Amino acid sequence: MSTSPAGTADATITELLETADALLAGRLQTTLAARHRGAALVLRTALELAINAALAAAEPGLATPNMTAKLHCLHHYSTPATAGRARRTWSHLCLACHYHQYEIGPTRSQVQAWHAEVSTLATLLGRHHAVAG
């Protein structure tokens, strides 16, 4: 494993994606509702780490603002399509992470779709920061 910050972020993102897999597969002892919401939280964290790594590689110091500001900055350091996908996915994951008594939590199929999208975005952002860095 690499000891560079980008290498560490990549390893952590991989571990988070594996944790989301374990939650969805029921290999961790939780309730069904907690599996889906927990996997969404883990996926949001993985996406945030991928965004932080891409921005830090492009421009040191950009990983410090809040996530909304980072998502705006991402438009300048990746393709508009990738930045838009990241913003939409992050927004969906944020909504899925918050419990509201009057709402149904995220479904397994929703979380699986977000998992695929976060995995793709992490790869796209990783490629971009490898070229930029």
> Residues 64-117: pLDDT tens digits?
789 999 999 999 999 999 999 999 999 999 999 988 788 888 999 999 999 999
pLDDT at residue 83, rounded to an integer: 97
Range of the domain at 72: 5-132
Structural domain tally of the chain? 1
CA 23 to chain centre: 16
Residues 6+ apart with CB under 8 A from 14: none
For the chain, count helices (H), then strands (E): 5, 0
The share of the chain scoring above pLDDT 70, in percent, equals 89
The gap from C-alpha 11 to its chain's centroid, in whole angstroms, comes to 13
* 26: number of Cβ within 10 Å: 10
Side-chain half-sphere CA neighbours of 121 within 13 A? 33
- Residues 113-129 have a mean pLDDT of 91
Q: Are the CB atoms for 24 and 112 separated by under 8 Å? A: yes
The whole model's pTM is what? 0.87
Q: Select the highest-mean-pLDDT range: 14-18, 25-29, 54-58.
A: 14-18
